[in-house]
Structure 1
């Protein structure tokens, strides 16, 4: 019996030593080799957290079930209140999708690129081409769009049934949910604005700007230097050929003259007792539109020139000096804004 008791004690001690060694090894692994990086933790939903580890790696953790739902990942993204699917990237740079509530992988990591779901579809890239899948990983729009290089990609999300797609040369166009081109890939710039009704601004190859409504109907043709849509659909601020004015969405003019900034002008009048120049305030001002300056009569409130100059200053009671925005040469203007002389 003593011998048996001694063996039991030895076995118990061995088990205890193994458990202690295991805990020490696990602590060493977690604390030194693979430590948690708590400041990289991110809440994904009420039940799911992205937990940070060393070397920038993460794992998804189910808070209620107190368990990890994935292996180590590179990153997760693309989750919002509009969808229950988020994007994840594996350590070998493949993309898939996970459920933002359960943390389980629902679409395996089989894509080279993947973007957030929008209106039931998500853009994914494979073999250099972009297509669109649904939440069941079924291809809805074939892989037929060229995938630009990193740094030149868009978000490829749908708004009101339309998505902007860019070509390898950067030109942009828009498709519908069937993958049909609504607008060809010939625009330099294409942006969605989240105003009250939603709208799009776009720029053509020569820099002209136009405006579309949420259904891709033209509101303003491609002919303006600048369009501001902060008040859309109640009003739109337009800039063209040095003029700025306000219209409603039907083309009715609400304000026929506007500017971004006003600089009241003064002219040198005399020298004081210290031979310093005294300046006298005039009835004129330089107004700015789209980084250019024009001349304004403050008494009448009427512009005397469009905003086409790089700078305007008053050189005498009756003359202004206006700088050409292209050549930087100085031009003299009279009190009516007419050119009276061109100097070098």
Structure 2
């Protein structure tokens, strides 16, 4: 049995597509995805081809294979602390576990929640979210309110957990 099980399901590749099996080796979610990630908090990230077959897009599925979001995102993250980061049209936002979007897709860069906080950026420039530079950074707390002013220019002073100001 593969060692890839998470929350009772395992993503496997067959004929170039990914799907999921259960521990009884039964196909639970058909082999239809370009990628299939581990389940976290009951949901998994997956990708599939766009209708014109020129690109791929990411979204979320549940354990029965129901698509919980449209497959329209350039990237998605696993749920951490009940929130998942998504990127669309070079902007990021966050889904909660009910697939509501309490933090709308409007930020130029962002990070996953960790210890109750998620860093977000407005004004960063660059072609990929991981390489964007500049802008102003701020934080959202898990209660979904800005921790300080909505966006603060302070990240350059806070390195490796120590204030450098």
Structure 2 CA distance for aligned equivalents of residues 140 and 229 of structure 1: 29
The aligned counterpart of 1:137 is: 25
- Unmatched tracts of structure 1, length 5 or more: 1-84, 88-115, 148-152, 263-344
| Alpha-carbon contact 1:160-1:215 (below 8 Å) kept | no
2:101 to 200, 206, 218: 218
What does 1:42-81 align with in structure 2 at a 5 Å threshold? Answer: none
TM-score in terms of structure 2 length? 0.71
* RMSD value, Cα: 2.3
Structure 1 CA distance for aligned equivalents of residues 79 and 67 of structure 2: 20
Residue 119 (structure 2) pairs with residue 237 (structure 1): yes
Structure 2 CA distance for aligned equivalents of residues 218 and 180 of structure 1: 18
Structure 1 CA distance for aligned equivalents of residues 153 and 97 of structure 2: 27
How far apart are residue 210 of structure 1 and its match? 0.7
| Alpha-carbon contact 1:224-1:239 (below 8 Å) kept | yes
The aligned counterpart of 1:177 is: 63
What does 1:181-220 align with in structure 2 at a 5 Å threshold? Answer: 181-192=67-78, 194=80, 197-204=81-88, 206-220=89-103
1:248 to 141, 145, 156: 141
Q: Which runs of 4+ in 1 moved over 4 A?
A: none
Residue 154 (structure 2) pairs with residue 259 (structure 1): yes
| Alpha-carbon contact 1:219-1:250 (below 8 Å) kept | no
The aligned counterpart of 2:43 is: 162
Which protein is richer in helix relative to its size? 1
- Describe the SS at the equivalent of 2:38: coil
Structure 2 CA distance for aligned equivalents of residues 247 and 207 of structure 1: 19
Note closer, same or farther for the CA distance 1:243–1:123 as it changes in structure 2 (3 Å cut): same
Structure 2 CA distance for aligned equivalents of residues 260 and 214 of structure 1: 28
- Unmatched tracts of structure 2, length 5 or more: 50-54, 124-134, 158-165
- Describe the SS at the equivalent of 1:261: helix
How far apart are residue 243 of structure 1 and its match? 3.0
How far apart are residue 214 of structure 1 and its match? 4.0
Greater gyration radius:
1
The aligned counterpart of 1:331 is: none
| Alpha-carbon contact 1:219-1:249 (below 8 Å) kept | no
How far apart are residue 229 of structure 1 and its match? 3.7
How far apart are residue 230 of structure 1 and its match? 4.8
| Alpha-carbon contact 1:190-1:203 (below 8 Å) kept | yes
- Describe the SS at the equivalent of 1:222: strand
- Describe the SS at the equivalent of 1:192: coil
Note closer, same or farther for the CA distance 1:193–1:182 as it changes in structure 2 (3 Å cut): closer
Structure 2 CA distance for aligned equivalents of residues 230 and 140 of structure 1: 30
Structure 1 CA distance for aligned equivalents of residues 62 and 119 of structure 2: 28
